[in-house]
């Protein structure tokens, strides 16, 4: 017995989420799936946004997570 062929409708695409630092007091998380978090004053808060999106949506965290 063989498995049925994978059709494009059954292929699941996931994004890659990361944090962008735009200077002092302006960091935000964004994902290649189209999701963008609101700007944060603390980089750690933007990192938490990225991890929360990764867990909730199944998108993979980028390596490195923070892009300066």
Q: Residue 3 falls within a domain, yes or no?
A: no
pLDDT range class, residue 52, cuts 50, 70, 90: very high
Q: Residue 8 falls within a domain, yes or no?
A: no
pLDDT range class, residue 24, cuts 50, 70, 90: confident
Q: Residue 1 falls within a domain, yes or no?
A: no
Q: Residue 20 falls within a domain, yes or no?
A: yes
Query: Rounded mean pLDDT of the chain?
Result: 87
Q: Residue 2 falls within a domain, yes or no?
A: no
Q: Residue 50 falls within a domain, yes or no?
A: yes
Q: Where are the alpha helices (DSSP H) in the chain?
A: 43-57
**SS percent in the chain: helix, strand, coil, step 5:** 25, 30, 45
Q: Residue 11 falls within a domain, yes or no?
A: no
Q: How much is the pLDDT for 14? A: 85
Q: How many domains does the chain have?
A: 1
Please tell me whether the overall predicted TM-score, pTM, comes out greater than 0.85 for this model: no
Q: How much is the pLDDT for 37? A: 96
* Domain of 26, in residue numbers: 16-67
Q: Residue 34 falls within a domain, yes or no?
A: yes
């Amino acid at each position: 017995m063989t498995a049925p062929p994978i059709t494009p409708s059954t292929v699941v695409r996931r994004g890659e989420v990361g944090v962008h630092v735009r200077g002092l007091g302006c960091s935000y998380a964004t994902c290649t799936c189209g999701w963008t978090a609101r700007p944060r004053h603390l980089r750690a808060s933007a990192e938490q946004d990225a991890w929360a999106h990764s867990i909730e949506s199944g998108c993979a965290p980028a390596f490195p997570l923070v892009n300066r």
